[in-house]
Amino acid sequence: MLETFGFTLVALLVIVDPFGTAVIFASMTTNNTAAERRRQAIRATVIAAVVLLVFALLGGWLLRALGIGLPAMKVAGGLLLFLLAADMVMGQTFLRATPEEQKAGAEQHDVSVFPLAIPLLAGPGGMTSMVLMREQARGDPMQFAAVMAALVAVLLLTLVCLLAAGQVAKLLGRTGGHVIGRVLGVLLAALAAQIALDGVRQSFAT
């Protein structure tokens, strides 16, 4: 249980990147009042929680309906997460909000749904991770509880960072946010490789 909690916690922390997302949120809401920023932060976190929870509960059913086994999902998910890791390390935005999307978000009065909740908080990497973690915990209520506990912990930390986005942005600055993103990207690459290798190993074992 603790191993599942730790693995899910690290994976989601790396993918969601609460501190880096807070810096982006601060830059997109410079023209909003404190009350508006607080409302958007709470709304975005709730929306992201619902999206990730839906993928955790229904993603496995969809895979089985399509005849996709867990090993194949692990390989595909690992490759997708590796692309996201490369994206983070290279400073690109292929699988998260693009600069154009961030600019469009900055021009909106409310950025809580797009691009904050989706794809910054609940993007392809987070959705894939929830499906993988849920499928690995299928049939074990304690393991599933560990996955959900990790999700709640990451979302709570994300909410705190978003509510304090101004202070986080001042503390880290744009350079600090980039450095954290690249370090987390390296860690995510290792996690992605492990997931893909596990999928390959399981596919040959069956």
| pLDDT tens digits, one per residue of 3-47 | 899 989 999 999 999 998 998 899 889 889 999 999 999 999 999
Tell me what pLDDT residue 104 has.
56
Tell me what pLDDT residue 206 has.
62
**In the chain, where the domains are located:** 2-205
- Segment 57-108, tens digit of pLDDT: 998 888 888 898 889 989 988 898 888 888 888 876 555 555 555 555 555 6
Q: For 34-43, 159-168, 183-192, which range has the lowest pLDDT when averaged over its residues?
A: 183-192
The listed range with the strongest mean pLDDT (26-40, 41-55, 182-196) is 41-55
- Segment 106-154, tens digit of pLDDT: 556 788 998 899 988 998 889 999 999 998 888 899 999 999 999 999 9
Burial readout 103-113 (b: 16 or more C-beta within 10 A, e: otherwise): eebeeeeebbe
Tell me what pLDDT residue 102 has.
53
| DSSP string across 30-86 | TTS-HHHHHHHHHHHHHHHHHHHHHHHHHHHHHHHHTT--HHHHHHHHHHHHHHHHH
